[in-house]
Amino acid sequence: MISHSRRTSYWQAAPLAAVFLVFFVLPLLATLTVSFWSYTGYSIEPAFIFDNYRDAFDRCIVSLPDLCTTLRTYLSTLKFCLVVWFITLVIGFTVSFYLTFHIRSTTTRLVLALLCTIPFWTSNVIRMISWIPLLGRNGLVNQTLINLGVIDHPLDWLLYTDFSVILAFVHINTVFMIVPIANSMSRIDRSLVEAARDSGATGWQILRHVIIPLSKTGIAIGSIFVITVVMGDFITIGLMGGQQIASAGKVIQTQISALQFPIAAANAIVLLAIVLMIIAMLIRFIDIRKEL
Amino acid sequence: MKKDNTTDLSRRQVLKGGAALAGAAAGSAITGFPAVIAAEPVTLRYLSTAVNQSPAIAERAAKDLGIKIEYVTVTTDDVTKRIITQPNSFDLVDTEYFALRNLIPSGNLMGMDAKRIKLVDKLVPALTKGEVAGKKIGDQGTAPHKVMYLEGQNSKKFASSPTEWITLIPTTYNADTLGIRPDLIGRPIESWAELLNPEFKGKASIMNIPSSGMMDAAMVIEASGKHKYGDKGNMTREEIDLTVATLIEAKKAGQFRAFWTDFNESVNLMAGGETVIQSMWSPAVTAVRLKGIACKFQPLKEGYRAWASGFGLPKTLKGKELDAAYEFVNWFLSGWAGAYLNRQGYYAAVLETAKEHMEPYEWAFWMEGKPAEKDIKGPDGGLLEKAGSVRDGGSYDQRMGAVACWNSIMDENAYLVRKWNEFIAA
């Protein structure tokens, strides 16, 4: 009987497994294989060489302490990751907290939660591009500030800088934090909060010792969303950074455009490895499966 | 080439063609499959960038030839990628000559039979010989005449002198330079060196397309007297290092506002006043001007970086599609399409037939660099230039005659891409 039900569960998992196999595992294996191939401007040749990985980390050791292109690119991307993660976490947590613990009517909560998703009604790229006329040298923000007499000259740092990139990232990704965190919070048993309060805990203590630990799953899931999106992004960094800021994705795209598939594949594998390491680290801190 | 072997005219084409065509067609038998075409219109999948496509051309071809053109629109890089990776996904491709150094060795394109191209002798010498008005023009980079002919139909080697196997039949070409905002600069700009002039700190841009961006940078560096390149279109590793080092230095000093990769980005940067000087394409300058903003495609004393594109055929094309493709190419050269391109500010591959399809005042403005007698309208009828204005850079001979180098793919392309990524990351 047990063996029968086990077989049933395998069958039930099979469709998803098949989809994963065809659309995820096989392409990934192909990418891994091609990353060891050699190439010319017009062809790729099966081989087993490490040249592509060596090129990806070209002069990374010898030029230390100066950073090579790859390290510099990943460092810049990691910096965005960290800053965006922190800001989206603070905003996402606050919004979720407000939605869950301060709004008492379920209807209001639902309406407000839906409001958070409104930006998703249009495409990512459009949401980003809309910032450009706002932040440009002759954009709305600069014009308003000049008209108000706050500044004499337009502020150039508003657009095509780290600032505009982070702004767009936060704008796009905060909702990825809100949804899982709000979901975790809504499952916190209110009597726990009441018990803490009855035992004389301050609001801050309740937050630190009750709510944050019980929201950890949501925080971890939200973090994984935000970190993977930012690590692999090249459109936001390209558009909002005026293409002056490197990203791992853009490096890969440039190489694909030049038909250098093997080195692009090698870079994709490196990117994947780095993202996996970050996620492995996160999961070490929070066992998502146990907490779910 | 033997003219009397030209046997692939359709009846319609003979009827429609201009005097030149009628002359060439007089002695030829009508073969091909006009009856089949009439019964069941042939569809040609036409792969190219948006620049070379226009519904008006497709419509006109359908009317004149009964051939249905189905545009497949992708970016420049993707045209190359499609030819190499999916050579069966199109019947006719319009691609740039510089890509041929990668395309021909892939073996996916066939040499086009010069005998089947009626106006082959009328193709402009700027492309076939690298000459304008009898004088040699700049030859650096992948100048079209270096890659125009193959040793045999399926050869992977370029012939050094004309043969009957042509890689690409030219469609359109132009000479590119820097675009500027004269209203915001307020003084004459005469040299490529101005792109890195600290006066324009935070207001300059260069295109984020490694091959062309590097050549623009090379024009700048050579203009500033820092280095004289052996061939700006085929740099040595040392030259690439030097060029990228110069770019990185400028970038770190805050010279660039942003980089651009597509047409619209370049238009927005210029129109929004984010940049006042940048690498640009001719129709982008027109697009800025159409917004009522002053913008100039500034001729510079060091000359232009030119490009050219042309029709190629996939090796697998045969039967009535092959005949239809030749028929369409011949039609394209016969004047109507050429006039259409000339009115967009590009140049047609056969100037004589294009001239027949243009008004004398249009020809005088676009090709002879004379002040416009009347308002100049684009192919869609929209106003491009008011009466009295003069084309930036002047006449065909002045502009094409001042070409310094051609878009190219360098021998050290892989190294160049790596260094370019270093520049972007700096």
Rounding to the nearest 10 degrees, give the CA dihedral for residues A106, A112, A118, A124.
-100
Structure tokens at B289: 């001007």
If asked whether residues B160 and B191 sit together in one domain, one would say: no
Average pLDDT, chain A: 89
If asked whether residues B141 and B53 sit together in one domain, one would say: yes
Q: Which chain A residues are within 8 Å of B273, Cβ to Cβ?
A: 136-138
Structure tokens at B9: 């005219």
Tell me what pLDDT residue B246 has.
96
**Distance between CA atoms of B342 and B337, rounded to whole angstroms?**
9
If asked whether residues B85 and B154 sit together in one domain, one would say: yes
Most B-contacting residue of A34, A40, A244 (CB-CB within 10 A), to test interface = A244
**Distance between CA atoms of A77 and A278, rounded to whole angstroms?**
13
Structure tokens at A211: 């709510």
Is residue A222 a contact partner of residue A181, using CB atoms and an 8 Å limit?
yes
The shortest CB-CB distance from A138 to any of B261, B272, B414 is to B272
Tell me what pLDDT residue A19 has.
95
Q: The domain spanning residue A178 has which CATH number?
A: 1.10.3720.10
Strands B92-96 and B296-298: unpaired
Distance from CA of B422 to the nearest CA of A (A): 5
What number is the ipTM of this complex? 0.81
Is residue B8 a contact partner of residue B31, using CB atoms and an 8 Å limit?
yes
**Ramachandran angles phi, psi of B47, nearest 5°:** -95, 125
Q: Is B210 on the interface with A (CB under 8 A)?
A: yes
Query: Strand pairing partners for B311?
Result: B94, B169
Q: Is B62 on the interface with A (CB under 8 A)?
A: no
Is residue B177 a contact partner of residue B304, using CB atoms and an 8 Å limit?
yes
Domain contains B389: no
**Distance between CA atoms of A61 and A71, rounded to whole angstroms?**
10
Domain contains B387: no
**Ramachandran angles phi, psi of A209, nearest 5°:** -100, -15
Q: What is the pLDDT of residues A218-276, one digit of tens each?
A: 999 999 999 999 998 988 999 999 999 989 888 898 888 888 899 999 999 999 999 99
The average pLDDT across A157-181 equals: 93
Residue A74, domain extent: 63-291
Q: Do B273 and A159 touch (CB under 8 A)?
A: no
User: H helices then E strands: how many in chain A?
Assistant: 16, 2
Chain A interface residues (partner B, CB cutoff 8 A): 39-43, 55, 58, 69, 72-73, 76, 132-133, 136-139, 156, 159-160, 238, 241-246, 250-251, 254-260, 263
**Distance between CA atoms of B168 and B114, rounded to whole angstroms?**
10
Is residue A132 a contact partner of residue A142, using CB atoms and an 8 Å limit?
no
**Distance between CA atoms of A252 and A234, rounded to whole angstroms?**
9
If asked whether residues B134 and B231 sit together in one domain, one would say: no
The whole-angstrom distance between residue A2's C-alpha and the CA centroid of its chain comes to 41
Strands B296-298 and B204-207: unpaired
If asked whether residues B120 and B211 sit together in one domain, one would say: no
Domain contains A45: no
End-to-end CA distance of chain A: 28
Q: How far is CA B224 from CA B40, B194, B197, B236, B242, in A?
A: 60, 9, 10, 19, 13
Closest CA to B233 of B261, B254, B213: B213
If asked whether residues B82 and B67 sit together in one domain, one would say: yes
The shortest CB-CB distance from B210 to any of A39, A238, A258 is to A258
Q: Is B422 on the interface with A (CB under 8 A)?
A: yes
Domain contains A23: no
Distance from CA of A39 to the nearest CA of B (A): 10
Tell me what pLDDT residue A290 has.
64
The shortest CB-CB distance from B258 to any of A69, A242, A256 is to A242
If asked whether residues B278 and B320 sit together in one domain, one would say: no
Query: Strand pairing partners for B256?
Result: B204
Domain contains B388: no
Q: Do A137 and B273 touch (CB under 8 A)?
A: yes
Strands B109-110 and B304-314: antiparallel
Residue B279, domain extent: 178-302+395-425
Q: What is the pLDDT of residues A137-163, one digit of tens each?
A: 989 999 999 999 999 989 989 999 999
Q: What is the pLDDT of residues B145-199, one digit of tens each?
A: 999 999 999 899 999 889 999 999 999 999 999 999 999 999 999 999 999 999 9
Domain contains A120: yes
If asked whether residues B297 and B325 sit together in one domain, one would say: no
Domain contains A70: yes
Alpha helices in B174-291, H assignment, sequence order: 182-185, 210-223, 237-252, 263-271, 282-290
Q: Is B259 on the interface with A (CB under 8 A)?
A: yes
Domain contains A93: yes
Q: Which chain A residues are within 8 Å of B77, Cβ to Cβ?
A: 257-258
Angle between helices A248-257 and B76-85 (to 10 degrees): 60
DSSP B297: E
**Distance between CA atoms of B119 and B171, rounded to whole angstroms?**
12
Instruction: Please tell me which residue of chain B has the smallest CA distance to A140.
Output: B272
Banded pLDDT at A291 (limits 50, 70, 90): low
Tell me what pLDDT residue B366 has.
95
Count of CB pairs separated by less than 8 Å, A with B: 92
**Distance between CA atoms of B342 and A227, rounded to whole angstroms?**
50
Domain count of the fold of chain B = 2
Closest CA to B265 of B303, B224, B208: B208
Instruction: Please tell me which residue of chain B has the smallest CA distance to A261.
Output: B81
If asked whether residues B296 and B339 sit together in one domain, one would say: no
| Low-confidence spans in chain B with pLDDT less than 50 | 1-37
Domain contains A179: yes
**Distance between CA atoms of A99 and A177, rounded to whole angstroms?**
13
Is residue B316 a contact partner of residue B410, using CB atoms and an 8 Å limit?
no
Structure tokens at B267: 């238009």
Q: The domain spanning residue B289 has which CATH number?
A: 3.40.190.10
Domain contains B162: yes
Burial class of residue A184 in the structure, from the number of CB atoms within 10 Å of its CB (0-12 exposed, 13-18 middle, 19+ buried)? buried
Q: Side chain identity at B372, as an amino acid letter?
A: A
If asked whether residues B297 and B414 sit together in one domain, one would say: yes
DSSP string, B314-366: ETT--HHHHHHHHHHHHHHHTSHHHHHHHHTT-EES-HHHHHHTS-HHHHHHH
Domain contains B333: yes
Q: Do A40 and B210 touch (CB under 8 A)?
A: no
Instruction: For the beta carbon of residue A229, count every other beta carbon within 10 angstroms.
Output: 17
Around B80, how many Cα atoms within 13 Å sit in the side-chain half-sphere?
22
**Distance between CA atoms of A236 and A292, rounded to whole angstroms?**
32
**Distance between CA atoms of B209 and B68, rounded to whole angstroms?**
33
If asked whether residues B25 and B164 sit together in one domain, one would say: yes
Domain contains A2: no
Domain contains A4: no
Does position A167 have pLDDT exceeding 90, yes or no?
Answer: yes
Domain contains B254: yes
Domain count of the fold of chain A = 1
- Is A229 in a helix, a strand, or coil? helix
